[in-house]
């Protein structure tokens, strides 16, 4: 391992890990990109760094500037880390339906957190729109705008995709992951398809999202939900997602996700968050439909630490009609 240069030098170049239980069960190599090993603990560190570097390069963000974003979690965490390392201020708008742990974590990292009433995207007071409006009132400030700022997808086109290609020597049959902003799927799929147009790209969707229908029928109509997953699923096609090259979509239910994360905890020792569970569920479905001998790569977006009061809480699961495997 080379010596890495500081915080931003430690973002990316994550290991690609064979998931033993699932690989042995399916006869396929099921490999997960260990994004939980980024300094901010998630896949969103890459997008945070690329969005800030794009703003620096364009001159929109200068020394001592401010980064404003509407985010409920990992992007805010990634931005706060990168902003601290470069002397920028971070202001995060968050809806008031988020856990106190997330607000406290962002504050601990040094972000100013503005909790605003939870309203739909169409409402002008939606937290993302408030972030954009506030940034426009400040000098030397940007609205990161992760959903439609394509520096997000570019981070995966320039880093995640090439890393997967190099780590597998180009031997990948399927890449699958879920979509929040779409940055990960878009950038990674665009790069991998350029290397091998025959690679299958599968969008993994939780219930209660419109993306499975969008890929399958062309219409972004909602599927029945809800889902307890966080950070994934969407009802609109963002500028980032428009860059994705997708062959098909698969739905993974919350119970399949719960069974997956508990199985990996108990059998393999991994402690993953809900979106990793959806991604691994989709990887297993792909393995079963293709048969043994294939290599399937997915994303291990973050670990289970932020989800202890929900996903890793039997009482919460029971309230949602879900069961944790005993
Ligand atoms: N998993 C988690 C835990 C996330 O926070 C996010 C980002 N919202 C995603 C997956 C989806 O990543 P992307 O925004 O690149 O689609």
Sheet hosting strand 89-95, strand order edge to edge: 112-116, 89-95, 66-70, 141-143
Adjacent-strand bridge partners of 68: 91, 143
Ligand 1 pocket: which residues have CB below 6 Å? 42-44, 73-74, 178-184, 231-232, 273, 275, 301-302
Q: How confident is the model at residue 34, as a pLDDT?
A: 99
Q: How confident is the model at residue 25, as a pLDDT?
A: 98
- Is 63 among the catalytic positions? no
Q: How confident is the model at residue 58, as a pLDDT?
A: 98
The distance in angstroms from the start CA to the end CA of the chain is 40
Angle at CA of residue 230, ends 224 and 234, nearest 5°: 50
Angstrom distance (rounded) from CA 76 to CA 181 = 13
Atom 2 (ligand 1) nearest CA: 231
Identify which of 135, 151, 152 has the alpha carbon closest to the alpha carbon of residue 143. Answer: 135
Three-class DSSP category at 42: strand
Identify which of 279, 324, 287 has the alpha carbon closest to the alpha carbon of residue 42. Answer: 279
| Residue in the structure block whose two tokens are 């260990």 | 34
Angstrom distance (rounded) from CA 85 to CA 7 = 7
- From the CA of 231, give the closest atom in ligand 1: 8
Q: How confident is the model at residue 102, as a pLDDT?
A: 87
How far away, in angstroms, is 37 Cα from ligand 1 center? 15
Angstrom distance (rounded) from CA 77 to CA 276 = 18
Catalytic residue among 5, 33, 44, 171: 44
Question: Are 205 and 249 within 8 A, CB to CB?
Answer: yes
Q: How confident is the model at residue 325, as a pLDDT?
A: 84
- CATH, range 44-143: 3.40.50.1100
* pTM over cut 0.85: yes
Q: How confident is the model at residue 72, as a pLDDT?
A: 74
Angstrom distance (rounded) from CA 153 to CA 140 = 24
Ligand 1 pocket mutation, candidates 33, 38, 41, 43, criterion most atoms within 8 A of CB: 43
Q: How confident is the model at residue 100, as a pLDDT?
A: 85
Question: Are 30 and 283 within 8 A, CB to CB?
Answer: yes
Instruction: Convert the pLDDT of each residue in 261-307 to its tens digit.
Output: 999 999 999 999 999 999 999 999 999 999 999 999 999 999 999 99
Ligand 1 pocket mutation, candidates 184, 228, 261, 282, criterion most atoms within 8 A of CB: 184
Identify which of 104, 32, 79, 56 has the alpha carbon closest to the alpha carbon of residue 272. Answer: 32
Q: How confident is the model at residue 311, as a pLDDT?
A: 96
CA dihedral 284, 290, 294, 298 (to 10 degrees): -40
Angstrom distance (rounded) from CA 158 to CA 13 = 11
Angstrom distance (rounded) from CA 69 to CA 89 = 11
6-37+156-319 placed in CATH 3.90.1150.10 = no
Domain spans, the chain: 6-37+156-319, 44-143
How far away, in angstroms, is 185 Cα from ligand 1 center? 10
* Pair type for strands 29-34 and 16-18: antiparallel
Proportion of the chain above pLDDT 70, given as a percent: 100
List average pLDDT for each run of 10 residues in the chain, which is 326 residues long. 96 98 98 98 98 98 98 93 98 90 94 95 94 98 98 99 98 98 98 98 98 98 95 95 98 98 98 98 98 98 94 96 89
Q: How confident is the model at residue 127, as a pLDDT?
A: 95
């Amino acid at each position: 391992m080379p010596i890495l240069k500081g915080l931003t030098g430690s973002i990316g170049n994550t290991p690609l890990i064979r998931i033993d239980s699932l690989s042995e069960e399916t006869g396929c190599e099921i490999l997960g990109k260990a994004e939980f090993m980024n300094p901010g603990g998630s896949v969103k560190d890459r997008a945070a760094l690329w969005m800030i570097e794009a703003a620096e390069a364009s001159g929109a963000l200068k020394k001592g500037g401010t980064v404003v974003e509407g985010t409920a979690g990992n992007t805010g965490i990634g931005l706060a880390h990168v902003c601290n390392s470069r002397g920028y201020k971070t202001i995060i708008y968050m809806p008031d339906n988020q856990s106190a742990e997330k607000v406290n974590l962002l504050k601990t990292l040094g972000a100013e957190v503005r909790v605003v009433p939870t309203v739909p995207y169409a409402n002008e007071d939606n937290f993302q729109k408030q972030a954009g409006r506030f940034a426009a009132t400040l000098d030397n400030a940007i609205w990161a705008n992760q959903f439609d700022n394509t520096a997000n997808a570019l981070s995966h086109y320039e880093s995640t995709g090439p890393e997967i290609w190099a780590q597998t020597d180009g031997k990948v049959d399927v890449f699958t992951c879920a979509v929040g902003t779409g940055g990960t799927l878009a950038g990674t799929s665009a790069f991998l398809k350029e290397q091998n147009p025959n690679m299958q790209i599968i969008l993994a969707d939780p219930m209660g999202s419109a993306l499975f229908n969008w890929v399958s029928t062309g219409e972004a109509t909602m599927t029945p939900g809800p889902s307890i997953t966080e950070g994934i699923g969407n009802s609109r096609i963002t500028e980032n997602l428009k860059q994705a090259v997708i062959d098909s979509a698969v739905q993974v239910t919350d119970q399949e996700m719960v069974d997956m994360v508990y199985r990996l905890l108990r059998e393999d020792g991994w402690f993953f968050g809900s979106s990793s569970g959806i991604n691994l569920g989709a990887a297993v479905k792909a393995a079963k439909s293709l048969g043994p001998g294939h290599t399937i790569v997915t994303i291990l977006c973050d670990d289970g630490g932020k989800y202890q009061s929900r996903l890793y809480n039997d009482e919460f699961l029971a309230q949602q009609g879900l069961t944790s495997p005993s």
